[in-house]
Structure 1
Amino acid sequence: MPRPDAPNTLAITFFYYRDLPAAMAFYENILGLPLAIDQGWCKIYRIADGAHVGLVDESRGMNKWQAVKSVQLCIRVPDVDAWYGYAKEENLPNLSDLFVNDALGIRAFVFNDPEGYQIEIQSATREGA
């Protein structure tokens, strides 16, 4: 049987939390992401067209909370400098300096969400990056 070739309609990356309400408050109030799908113990927030992050109560999800996070959520924005100023004012945990990666063609910074997932905010520094 051949692989289906219909276009994908949605992408969701799931993160697992011990304190779902705190995670929800962060993604809604600090990052400003709109709630797209409310499944009760799983809240799915829209990042961009077709791209979403799902916050899951680890007591109910398919996976469990882990102390060491091996994933990073990266969000590309039009103005990384404005976001960096906002992040400094909000005193976000583990906020890095603003940095440039010429090899990747980005300006970016990172910080952690309430349970230690790293979030990178970036802008492209060149076309096609």
Structure 2
Amino acid sequence: MKNTESNFGVGDILATNAFFYYKRLENAWCFYRDILGFQTVADYGFAKIMRVAQTSFVTLVDSDSGMHNAQEPKSVTLAMVTEQVTAWYDYLVASGIPMHRKLEIRAGSPHDGFVTIDPEGYFLEFECFNSHQENISLLPLLSSLDTTYAAHGNRPQELGVKATVLWLYYHDLSSAQQFHEGLLGVEPLVDQGWAKVYPISSSGFIGFVDGEHGLHKPTKQKCVTVSFITDNVDSWFQRAAGWNDFDLLTPKITHESERVRLFVSTDPEGYYFEWDTFLIHNDNADLLRQLRKCRI
């Protein structure tokens, strides 16, 4: 009988990370580095780990070397939570970056923002959560965070990122909530009706969306891997291995190039979830320095 009891939690998850997969990795890297101004904290050649916010990362992967094919549907949206949403919009429009959804500012709205498109079609949302009853539990957490500013490139120095929300899209939102609340030991922080936001790391949030209402429809394949960075990959493996409907893609914890210990599973609707413990290695020096800050 597999475990279904929630006696665990996300307290030892240091940071969130999302793996995106590209046919032209160098082109994508230039966009995230030079236009968005994200810091590259580890460069493995075929993969670049970039810091987005205090405990939020995105990893750009050459699809020829990754777990996903770049042709798979990009059923994911990475949202940057910022207090400078209008200035971000003006900057990206002036930089010639295409928009999927133009900036909307609405009086009394719980959130305002816009959606842009990266070089290979991933949706990137820039969003401000406003003073609103819907956000009453979220706003104190955001106010406690340091803003992350540009590390590189053309991004104006005044444009910051407070946090990230990784939005995932489901056929059965209620079942997805029940599954992940149990596995991760979390409760919803923001309830938007057809979308729920959960805390994972201090600046890294995950959002589960009813695919009938979101930016994407649910798809069988998804060109993304959701990653949680932790010091306790062994404990998470034991938990995942005993969890109903969580299928292990790696039957044991694996070592990749002496840089990371990890395992990968799929949730009931096929999203890949990976837990990573990064090891002492020259290629991880900058990343480990950032992760030490996450422990403070």
The answer to whether TM tops 0.5 is yes
- Counterpart residue type for residue 247 of structure 2: P
Aligned counterparts of 2:241 and 2:183: Cα–Cα separation in 1: 12
Aligned counterparts of 1:33 and 1:6: Cα–Cα separation in 2: 31
SS in structure 1 opposite 2:200? Answer: strand
Residue 191 of structure 2 contacts residue 197 of structure 2 at CA under 8 Å; is this kept in 1?
Answer: yes
In the alignment, which residue of structure 1 is the partner of 2:270? Answer: 116
Distance 1:106 1:34, change over 3 A: farther
Structure 2 unpaired stretches of 5+: 1-89, 92-154, 288-296
Shift of 1:119: 0.1
Shift of 1:31: 1.7
Task: Give identity over the alignment, percent.
Answer: 31
Shift of 1:94: 3.2
Shift of 1:102: 2.4
Aligned counterparts of 2:273 and 2:219: Cα–Cα separation in 1: 16
SS in structure 2 opposite 1:28? Answer: helix
In the alignment, which residue of structure 1 is the partner of 2:193? Answer: 40
SS in structure 1 opposite 2:169? Answer: strand
Residue 42 of structure 1 contacts residue 54 of structure 1 at CA under 8 Å; is this kept in 2?
Answer: yes
Aligned counterparts of 1:52 and 1:21: Cα–Cα separation in 2: 18
String of CA shifts for 1:4-40, please: whole Å, max 9, x gaps. Answer: 5232122111111000011101211112234221111
> What is the number of residues matched between the two proteins?
128
In the alignment, which residue of structure 2 is the partner of 1:10? Answer: 163
Larger Rg: 2
Aligned counterparts of 2:272 and 2:242: Cα–Cα separation in 1: 18
Residue 87 of structure 1 contacts residue 95 of structure 1 at CA under 8 Å; is this kept in 2?
Answer: no
Aligned counterparts of 2:249 and 2:271: Cα–Cα separation in 1: 12
Residue 50 (structure 1) aligned to one of 195, 200, 203 = 203
- Counterpart residue type for residue 117 of structure 1: Y
In the alignment, which residue of structure 1 is the partner of 2:23? Answer: none
Structure 1 unpaired stretches of 5+: none
Aligned counterparts of 1:7 and 1:34: Cα–Cα separation in 2: 28
Aligned counterparts of 1:125 and 1:33: Cα–Cα separation in 2: 27
Aligned counterparts of 1:89 and 1:58: Cα–Cα separation in 2: 28
Residue 18 of structure 1 contacts residue 58 of structure 1 at CA under 8 Å; is this kept in 2?
Answer: yes
In the alignment, which residue of structure 1 is the partner of 2:56? Answer: none
Which aligned runs of 4 or more in structure 1 are off by greater than 6 angstroms?
none
String of CA shifts for 1:45-78, please: whole Å, max 9, x gaps. Answer: 1110111111100111121111111111000112
